[in-house]
Every structure is written in C-alpha cells, then in structure tokens.
Amino acid sequence: MSTSRTPLAPSPKPPPARRRPAGPARPTSRLGHGAYGYAFFAPFLAVFVIGVVAPLGYAAYLSFFQDRLIGGTVFVGLDNYRRALGDELFRAGLWRVLLFLLVQVPVMLGLALLAALAVDSGRLRRAGLFRIGIFVPYAVPAVVASLMWGYLYGDRFGLAGQLGDLLGIDVPDLLSANWMLASIGNVVTWEYVGYNMLILYAALRTVPEELYEAAEMDGAGEFRKAWSIKLPAVRPALALATVFSIIGTFQLFNEPNVMQTLAPGVISTSYTPNMYAYNLAFNGQQFNYSAAVAVVLGGVTAVVAYAVQVRSMRKEQGR
C-alpha cells in the first residue's frame, strides 16, 4: 500500500507523444470512486437537460402541431416540415448563408492561418502585440461590432465614404442590396479572425522545436517547413475552427438583425434562416412552424458540420 507514496523517483518519462488517442486511457485504479465521476458530471447534466435537451424535445414536439382557427391545436404530422422544405423564403435564406459560408469562412480562416504562421515564425517584431491586437475584436459584442461597422459603412457619417473622398475613390453604397452580404461578411471576419488565429497559433506552439531543427539540418527552407511540419500540426485545430465557423454561419442572426435597423429596405425578415425562425415566432405568432424551421435548420447545420468533421478526420488518418 505504502509503496504508492513514492512514485516521484525519476521514472523514465514517456516520449512526448505528439498525438495521443482522445480520452483518459491511462492507468485505471479508479475502482470504488466511480460514483464521484457521476457526482462531478451531474451539475452539467442538469443544466444540459434544462438548456438543451428539453428545448430540443419541445421544439420537435411543437413542430408536429398546428394552430387552426377552427379546432385549435391539431396534430399535423410532418406537414410543417413539408411546408418548410417547399418554403421559398426559407430556401432563399439557406442559399444566402451557404454562399456566405463558401466565401467568408475560407477568407477568414485563410487570414487567421497566415496570421498564426506569421506570429509563430519568430520573424515578427513585437509578435505579442500583434497577437493580442488582432484578437481584441473578439471581445467586442456582435451588436456593438455591427453598429460600429454599420455606421462606418453608412452615408450619414461613414468613414468608408470619408476615406474614399480623401483618396478620390468612389466608394459604393456598402449598405445596398448588392453589397450587404459582403458587408456583413466583413463584420464577421473582423470579429473572429483573431480568435481563429489564436486557436491555430496554440496548435503551432505544440510542435517541438527539435522537429524544426531536424528539418533545417535536412536543408528544409521556411516554406518547406511550413508545408510539411506546420500545416499537418494545425490540421486538427483547423478542422475544429471550420466546424465552429459552419455552425456560426448557419446561425447568423445578430449582425443582420442589427444591420436591419440601419438598412431596413435591404435586409428582409427572412434574410437568414435564423432570422426567419425568429420573425415567424415573434412577429407572426407561428410558433409551430417556427419550431419546424428551427429543427430543419439545426439538422442541416449538424449534417454539414458532421460531414466536414468526418472528412477532415479521414484525411487525418490517411496521412
């Protein structure tokens, strides 16, 4: 028994495994303490049930009913889902966020990756300053960011126009229908590029220095090192960032909702699927249909996010 008190002798440390299987698959002498595992997990489980499971279940339940003028609330099976799938407004919103996803997310993550590589390269003066400075917008609430950028875009006292005048460039109306999606994309990029940079930077930091030294000895240049060592190292983090960005994009609400006050004619109540669900419920009182839209939206999000995750994991294993 008492022998286990002396494990601090210099035991041969296992080599720093670079990739370890997830989960605590370590020595398992926890017998008899298992109940504490439940106890520690229980508070989370409680709030998870209240905050996620119950609303999810309730949404599913609601989506099978309809409020009728005659007959009150009736069970309609999949009618709400059929309606959602054929709903032009809903589909237009989905296409809009999909387009947003295909353009904004690669731009943002590309910039984040470049910034992370630059900060990690050791060739940047005052790297710490850049790291924290580019990250700061993440601390700005989406509402404030949207208000700020909305004012910057706007013709009332917009900086965009002022800078255009200064440089003699004709700046287009960034709050017009043609530019709105790009303008919102810029706000989202501004908010999250630093956050993603940090996630990727943290991944880069785990590369042991010896690996670079070995590569250099083999005559690898900076680009070779970036391609063969750094990119593989950030791939899991990049996959995680991509999944988060996909989820965020499908849920797009705050930015367009705030911009709507600044450009009411341009952003409709169904501009994004999430705005559509919100307006159905709170301006249209169509709670059942809104629940079905939310469930479909959640389903689409989960499927796309999952597909990307599986694809990136397969790539991972294929290496």
Partner 1 sequence: MSRRTTPARRRPSTALTLAMGLMLLYALLPLVWLFMSSTKDTASLMNSFGLWFGDGFHLFGNIRDVLTYDDGIYLRWFGNTLLYAVVGAGGAAFVSTAAGYGLAKYRFRGRTALSALVLGAIAIPGTALAVPTYLLFSKAGIVDTPWAVLLPSLVSPFGVYLMRVYAAEAVPDTVLEAARIDGSGELRTFFTISLRMLAPGFVTVLLFALVATWNNYFLPLIVLSDPQWFPLTVGLNQWNALATGAAGSGVTTVNFYPLVVTGSLLAIVPLVVAFLFLQRFWQSGLAAGSVKE
Q: Is 98 in the site for partner 1 (CB under 8 A)?
A: no
- Residues between 261 and 290 with contacts to partner 1, criterion CB under 8 A: 261-262, 264, 274, 277-278, 281-282, 287, 290
Structure tokens of 269? 């109540």
Asked if 180 and 267 touch (Cβ cutoff 8 Å), the reply is: yes
Question: Using CA atoms, how far apart are residues 72 and 87, in angstroms rounded to an integer?
Answer: 24
Site for partner 1 in 227-266 (CB under 8 A): 236-237, 240, 243, 247, 250-251, 253-254, 257-258, 260-262, 264
With binding defined as CB under 8 A, does residue 35 bind partner 1? Answer: yes
By CB under 8 A, residue 101 contacts partner 1 = no
Q: What is the DSSP string of 284-319?
A: T--HHHHHHHHHHHHHHHHHHHHHHHHHHHHHHHH-
Q: How far is the CB of 127 from partner 1 (least distance, A)?
A: 5
Query: CB of 118: closest distance to partner 1 in angstroms?
Result: 5
Query: Closer to partner 1 at the Cβ: 85 or 140?
Result: 140
Residues of this chain, 3-32, that bind partner 1 according to CB under 8 A: 4-5, 7-8, 19-20, 22-24, 26-31
Q: Report the nearest approach of partner 1 to the CB of residue 297 (Å).
A: 5
Tally the residues of the chain. 319
Exposure string of 157-185, with b = 16+ CB inside 10 Å and e = fewer, is ebebbeeeeeeeeebebbbeeebbbebbb
253/273 Cα distance (integer angstroms):
8
At residue 101's C-alpha, the angle toward residues 99 and 103, to 5°, is 70
Piece of the chain touching partner 1 by CB under 8 A; list 56-64, 82-90, 93-101, 176-184: 56-64
132-161 residues near partner 1, rule: CB under 8 A:
132-145, 147-149, 151-152, 156-159
Q: Name which of residues 166 to 195 contact partner 1 (CB under 8 A).
A: 190, 193-194
User: Cα(90)–Cα(272) distance, rounded to whole angstroms?
Assistant: 8
